[in-house]
Amino acid sequence: MRYSAFSILKNAFSGNRDWAPMWREPQPKPHYDVIIVGGGGHGLATAYYLAKEHGITNVAVLEKSYLGSGNVGRNTTIVRSNYMLEGNEPFYELSMKLWEGLEQDFNYNAMMSQRGIINLFHSDGQRDAYARRGNSMRMHGIEAELLDREQVKKMIPYLNYDHARFPVLGGLLQRRAGTARHDAVAWGYGRGADQRGVDLIQQCEVTGIRRENGIVTGVETTKGFIGCNKLALAAAGNTSTVGRMADLQLPIESHVLQAFVTEGIKPAIDNVITYGAGHFYISQSDKGGLVFGANLDYYSSYAQRGNLETVEHTIEEGVSMIPGLSRVRVLRAWGGVMDMSMDGSPIIDRTAIDNLYLNCGWCYGGFKATPASGFCFAHLIARNEPHQVARLLRLDRFRRGFAIDEGGKGPQPNLH
């Protein structure tokens, strides 16, 4: 599907009934060079970059539901690269650079909005930690500004500055961070991959992984067996169940994370704001709804819905930070299943099975990673060697004890 001023005009006069679908609905071929399991942001971006950067187009993306039905269409849309540790920093900065040119690249409006993110701090210790993070970012060429209380107050006057337990002392600002429309990212990558010949096969669940003489020869699916030379897993919250089909035991747990949207109100929140006294983040969508989320529901689950205890906890945190939030009505809430790794950082790697590739461990932060994840995973699949910026995001770091523990939480995925 291509857009032009002419097609918009023509459809305006014909009741918008003549738009062609954005991608084909192909039946699976018997064999592909590469099969990608998971039609989320990462699977679709991988297919897109495999075709665009490496000329590998005999590719299928197998999605058990519809494209974008997973976390890519369920997240709170925050994109940023304000990381500190060596394994994460260059990777997320590559992602940010790709975000900045993404809409021109795949010729689709993903509503990328670099409105800035402010991470609030509420104690001297937290200020030190944020100063260290900001300095590390600046040393690596990523802009960051440490704001004092008055500077924050000028930008976001409606916070609860004098909260008795959690006074706002300042914030760390990354101006290039912001939000993007999550489902449009999936559609843009999907359309771009389809235009280059990739088969996007929906309602096709992978139920088994077939191996002969130790290597993967294809997958059993609800549409029959499909052969492949290389198999790439990008199943996010379902990583461990899909991995088990190839006897992989992975350092991943699946937990629910909820998101919330309020009724539309007049423009009020210009930036993305995160609460340092808890784990609450909020922005305002272009339609006017306030979009926010907080912590995981603290139990493992594959259900894309959460429970009321976390709803209450989330709203409490929100109202502590912005008292006026108590006057806005929540319209919708939903959950997604997070692939929580043991150090809070992702994995993009080959597995012990030569032609089986793994992309997982995205925790809360995989939406912002989508472009770099697809770019680096495609590089790995095409060349059999890690991309430079993803070279530390390896599976064996857990065996070797080289965790990339940005949160400093240890091997407890529910705390990352």
Ligand X SMILES: Cc1cc2nc3c(=O)[nH]c(=O)nc-3n(C[C@H](O)[C@H](O)[C@H](O)COP(=O)(O)OP(=O)(O)OC[C@H]3O[C@@H](n4cnc5c(N)ncnc54)[C@H](O)[C@@H]3O)c2cc1C
- What is the pattern of x (binds ligand X, CB under 6 A) and - over residues 108-147? ----------------------------------------
Stretch that binds ligand X, among 38-46, 47-55, 98-106, 394-402 (CB under 6 A): 38-46
**Which residues inside 232-271 make contact with ligand X, applying CB under 6 A?**
234-238, 242, 257-259
C-alpha to C-alpha distance for 293 and 278, rounded to whole angstroms: 11
Interaction between residue 178 and ligand X (CB under 6 A): no
Do 35 and 219 form a contact (C-beta atoms < 8 A)?
yes
Q: Which two tokens stand for residue 2?
A: 């291509």
Of the candidates 16, 62, 12, 13, the one whose C-alpha atom is nearest the C-alpha of residue 40 is 62
- Residues in contact with ligand X, counted by CB under 6 A, come to a total of 40
From 102-110, 134-142, 349-357, 363-371, give the range in contact with ligand X by CB under 6 A.
363-371
Tokens of 411: 């091997």
Contact window for ligand X (CB under 6 A) among 25-33, 85-93, 128-136, 361-369: 361-369
Q: Is the Cβ–Cβ distance between 334 and 297 less than 8 Å?
A: no
With binding defined as CB under 6 A, does residue 416 bind ligand X? no
- What lies within 8 Å, CB to CB, of 412 at 6+ separation is 342
Distance CA 416, CA 402 (A): 17
Nearer to ligand X, 70 or 134 (CB): 70
Site map 297..336 versus ligand X, x via CB under 6 A: ---------------------------------------x
**Of the two residues 40 and 251, which places its CB atom closer to ligand X in the complex?**
40
Helix axes 366-383, 89-106, angle to 10 degrees: 90
In the complex, the smallest distance separating the C-beta of residue 23 from ligand X, rounded to whole angstroms, is: 15
Residues with Cβ within 8 Å of residue 344, at least 6 apart in sequence: 363, 404, 405, 406, 407, 409, 413, 416
Residue 40 as a binder of ligand X (CB under 6 A): the answer is: yes
Kindly state whether residue 343 participates in binding ligand X, applying the rule CB under 6 A. no
Return the sign of the alpha-carbon dihedral for residues 277, 278, 279, 285. Answer: negative
Binding mask 46-85 for ligand X (x = CB under 6 A): ----------------xxxx---xxxx-xxxxx-------
- Chain positions 195 to 214 lying near ligand X, rule: CB under 6 A, are 205-206
Q: How far is the C-alpha of 81 from the C-alpha of 416, rounded, in Å?
A: 17
Rounded CA gap, 16 and 99, in Å?
30
Exactly one of 87, 366, 386, 413 binds ligand X (CB under 6 A); that residue is: 366
- Of 35, 36, 37, 390, which one interacts with ligand X (CB under 6 A)? 37
The secondary element (H helix, E strand) that includes residue 315 is helix 308-321
Closest to ligand X by CB, 121 vs 292, is: 292
Rounded distance, CA 184 to CA 109, Å? 7
Contact flag: residue 364 with ligand X (CB under 6 A):
yes
Q: Which residues bind ligand X (CB under 6 A)?
A: 37-43, 62-65, 69-72, 74-78, 205-206, 234-238, 242, 257-259, 293, 336, 338, 362, 364-368
